[in-house]
Homo-oligomer: A and B are copies of this chain.
Amino acid sequence: MRTRPLKVALLGCGVVGSEVARIMTTHADDLAQRIGAPVELAGVAVRRPSKVRDGIDPALVTTDATALVKRGDIDVVVEVIGGIEPARTLITTAFAHGASVVSANKALLAQDGAALHAAADEHGKDLYYEAAVAGAIPLIRPLRESLAGDKINRVMGIVNGTTNFILDKMDSTGAGYQEALDEATALGYAEADPTADVEAFDAAAKAAILAGIAFHTRVRLDDVYREGMTEVTAADFASAKNMGCTIKLLAICERAADGGSVTARVHPAMIPLTHPLASVRGAYNAVFVESDAAGQLMFYGPGAGGAPTASAVLGDLVAVCRNRLSGATGPGESAYAALPVSPMGDVVTRYHISLDVADKPGVLAQVATVFAEHGVSIDTVRQHGRQDGDGEASLVVVTHRASDASLSGTVEALRKLDTVRGVASIMRVEGE
């Protein structure tokens, strides 16, 4: 074993960074054995140096992250700051000064993955980011390496723990969205400003990364259709139960049936209770992968948290250090397929639509005509009066598979009918 240590610079020392530093210290011997050389924490860049950090030598702490990545003797930079800047500039600077990079930064990878990979390639360095998607769950490496000889057709998963906690709570207790969100906040599962989670920005970034890897195609954040879960109601859960379903916020990356294009989207959807994703509880994540040869695979585990995310970071750190010792680099960006990314309108799935309609004869015929005119075939209709004497009834329509564009056209036309008082909810039905 080489005795000269590999030097690691840690950018960020919050929940994840402090766990990375702790494990590097407490498991130093194991890491050295597994890498083939000791690893040494050579510097820790933070914003507030005054904060006490257990077990980290104060002499290593600096507020000058740029100087740290420019030192020239750093082998691997571990970036756990998050956000676009200064993380992006620090990472490209690190490559230029001879370091490989391990990052947990989903927002940055989703937005600028191609440019960062190009920078890594230019300097012959590694860029690894297992921790950017689904925390501790090995997912990037299985998709990129284990399934490298297979053709992936669909990646569908629960990739945001906060929203899964909220939806699970709504499902199990009948609570409304706000009540469930309040509990998630009180328990520390949701941040004070939960926008990134509940509006699905976080999940959309992960979908872009997963789609890119699964389909060997660049998928930008803008390519991902995004719909948050703030409008999911207790009534939607009741409808889902009627169908033998529950509701999950799903990230879905699909290859079109003809193989010529791909789509990526994030939205709440009904899935059958018999689907493995339906039983993913609390803040856990799970990702379902379908490929030509392997068939259906599922990966399950904690999707966030300091220690789980640190586990993923350290797995990458070991791989990058091993590559460094052997003078090789791991798999870089693979975007050779360059498939077009189709818009949401091209997505084909099933829909569950709740309409408030006038409670009089002929309404169902009118509604059914609109569906037919837009080429959307109806699977089932359930109609019932509200019995509150206001002359309204509700109509629940479940469609066969149709394109999102056809469904949108249908809904637009339905809204124009005098007899349709309102569209109470539209939800996609997946996993059947």
Contact = CB atoms under 8 A, between A and B. Distances in A.
A76 to B, nearest CB: 12
B293 A301 contact: no
A30 interface: yes
Given A216-B34, A295-B302, A301-B295, A149 B307 contact: no
Interface stretch (A165-173, A264-272, A318-326, A385-393): A318-326
Interface in A319-355: 319, 322-323, 326-329, 331, 334, 336-337
A331 B322 contact: yes
A49 B336 CA distance: 38
Interface in A1-51: 19, 23, 27, 30-31, 33-34
Number of chain copies forming the complex: 2
Interface in A272-315: 276, 279, 291-302, 305, 307-308, 310-315
Contacts of A328: 323, 326-328
A297 B148 contact: no
**Contact size class for A?**
35 or more
Interface string A133-173: 00011100110011111110000000000000000000000
A314 B148 contact: yes
Contacts of A27: 149, 151
A84 B30 CA distance: 33
Contacts of A33: 216, 334, 336-337
A75 interface: no
A317 interface: yes
Contacts of A292: 307, 311
A130 interface: yes
B279 A293 contact: no
A308 B294 contact: yes
A314 B301 CA distance: 26
A318 B151 CA distance: 13
B334 A307 contact: no
Given A33-B216, A136-B297, A145 B319 contact: yes
B151 A146 contact: no
A23 B146 contact: no
Nearest to A295: B302
Nearest to A39: B149
B141 A311 contact: no
B276 A300 contact: yes
Contacts of A293: 19, 23, 136, 307-308, 310-311, 314
A300 B300 contact: yes
Contacts of A317: 149
Nearest to A293: B311
Given A19-B293, A138-B141, A138-B142, 16 more contacts: A23-B150, A33-B336, A138-B138, A141-B142, A141-B146, A145-B315, A148-B314, A148-B319, A149-B314, A149-B315, A149-B316, A276-B279, A295-B302, A298-B299, A299-B299, A326-B328
The 6 A-B residue pairs whose C-beta atoms are closest, nearest first, are A149-B314, A138-B146, A328-B328, A136-B294, A293-B311, A138-B142
26 contacts: A23-B149, A30-B151, A33-B337, A34-B216, A138-B138, A141-B142, A141-B146, A142-B146, A147-B311, A148-B314, A148-B319, A149-B310, A149-B317, A150-B314, A276-B300, A293-B311, A293-B314, A294-B302, A294-B311, A295-B301, A295-B305, A298-B298, A298-B299, A299-B300, A326-B328, A326-B329
